[in-house]
């Protein structure tokens, strides 16, 4: 995999508001043509709603975003796991950690969009470090800066669930409480949030791509502190499920030592 192609694959990860969040406006940028998935990747508890007391007071269109953002601003680090599918196939999986201050990320990605290989990314400050099978020796990283590091940073911003959620703002059209569900031992409240893609992208300084849906629906699972633990959406046939855990647990992301950095 050439560096330009590798960066294109990374930058095309459509986590924040679909493909538009990473600067692309065509599904073909990721190497596939999205359509309605033949299977739904989001596994929702189909059992009868729990007859338990609500985890907290129900949120509505006015209170939802302030409550969610108040919880997010208290978080310094988190563990993120994501899965993206299209046409019934797994396009990409990702697993790693992110920190808010200083902003840094350590992610491992794999799947069809990466030719079935495992791609590792470290982003710290204005530099990014890439471990690419077939391009860098095992355990070694290529350091990129400038515009190339910016591409990686843009991807990481798109893959940062806290930034996705904070971009909702005035774009929220409606908020609906669905039910309480027990997921991974936690009693969570599920909300379906209808979002104006144009308004949300506008808050990020982006425009709605031609032909893109004007609205999209996020399913969000919150704990009693209004902290989002799970997020799912489907955008133009590409589905994504993201889980967030280990909030505020100690995480230290550092650059690889000089002995593990290679040059082209």
| CATH code, domain with 189 | 2.50.20.20
**Higher confidence at residue 54 or residue 41?**
54
Cβ 84 vs Cβ 112: under 8 Å: no
Phi, psi of 93 (to 5 degrees): -125, 150
Distance CA(158)–CA(220), nearest Å, equals 17
CA distances, 250 to each of 3, 25, 242 (Å): 32, 37, 21
Q: Summarize pLDDT for 124-170 with one digit per residue, the tens.
A: 877 889 898 878 888 899 888 755 555 555 555 544 566 667 667 76
The domain tally of the chain equals 1
pLDDT at res. 24: 32
Cβ 244 vs Cβ 94: under 8 Å: no
**Higher confidence at residue 171 or residue 85?**
85
Q: What is the mean pLDDT of residues 70-83?
A: 92
Question: Torsion angle, CA of 200/105/218/114, rounded to 10 degrees?
Answer: 110
Distance CA(167)–CA(178), nearest Å, equals 22
**Higher confidence at residue 33 or residue 81?**
81
Q: Is residue 218 part of a domain?
A: yes
Cβ 93 vs Cβ 110: under 8 Å: yes
E strands in 139-237? 141-144, 172-183, 186-196, 215-222, 228-235
Sign of the C-alpha dihedral computed for residues 148, 157, 204 and 20 taken in this order: positive
**Higher confidence at residue 228 or residue 165?**
228
**Higher confidence at residue 158 or residue 212?**
212
pLDDT at res. 21: 31
Cβ 212 vs Cβ 49: under 8 Å: no
The one-character DSSP state at 24 is -
Q: Is residue 262 part of a domain?
A: no
User: Percent of the chain at pLDDT above 90?
Assistant: 30
Distance CA(216)–CA(252), nearest Å, equals 35
Cα atoms in the Cβ-side hemisphere of radius 13 Å centred on 158:
25
At residue 227, does pLDDT exceed 60? yes
Q: Is residue 24 part of a domain?
A: no
Q: Which of 21-35, 198-212, 243-257 shows the lowest per-residue confidence on average (mean pLDDT)?
A: 21-35
Q: Summarize pLDDT for 81-105 with one digit per residue, the tens.
A: 988 888 878 888 889 999 988 888 8
What is the average pLDDT score of the chain?
74
Phi, psi of 67 (to 5 degrees): -65, -45
Cβ 233 vs Cβ 83: under 8 Å: no
At residue 206, does pLDDT exceed 60? yes
Distance CA(153)–CA(10), nearest Å, equals 10
pLDDT at res. 181: 95
At residue 33, does pLDDT exceed 50? no
**Antiparallel, parallel or unpaired: β 141-144 and 261-262:** parallel
At residue 49, does pLDDT exceed 60? no
pLDDT at res. 46: 40
Domain that holds residue 138: 3-18+30-255
Q: What is the mean pLDDT of residues 213-218?
A: 84
């Amino acid at each position: 995999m050439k560096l330009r192609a590798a960066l294109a694959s990374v930058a095309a990860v459509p986590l924040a508001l679909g493909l538009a969040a990473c600067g692309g406006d065509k599904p073909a940028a990721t190497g596939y043509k999205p359509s309605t998935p033949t299977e739904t990747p989001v596994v929702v508890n189909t059992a009868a709603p729990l007859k338990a007391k609500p985890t907290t007071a129900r949120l509505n269109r006015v209170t939802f975003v302030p409550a969610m953002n108040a919880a997010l601003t208290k978080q310094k680090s988190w563990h993120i796991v994501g899965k993206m599918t299209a046409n019934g196939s797994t396009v990409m999986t990702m697993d790693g950690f992110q920190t808010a201050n200083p902003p840094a990320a350590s992610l491992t990605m794999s799947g069809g969009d990466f030719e079935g290989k495992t791609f590792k990314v470290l982003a710290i400050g204005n530099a990014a470090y890439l471990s690419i099978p077939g391009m860098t020796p095992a355990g070694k990283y290529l350091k990129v800066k400038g515009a190339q590091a910016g591409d990686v940073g843009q991807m990481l911003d798109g893959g940062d669930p806290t930034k996705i959620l904070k971009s909702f703002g005035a774009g929220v059209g409606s908020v609906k409480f669905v039910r309480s569900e027990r997921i991974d031992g936690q009693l969570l409240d599920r909300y379906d949030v209808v979002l104006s893609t144009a308004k949300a992208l506008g808050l990020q300084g982006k425009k709605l791509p031609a032909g893109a849906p004007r609205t999209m629906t996020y399913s969000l699972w919150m704990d009693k502190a209004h902290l989002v633990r799970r997020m799912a959406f489907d955008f133009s046939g590409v589905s994504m499920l993201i889980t967030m855990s280990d909030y505020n647990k100690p995480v230290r992301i550092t650059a690889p030592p000089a002995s593990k950095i290679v040059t082209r």
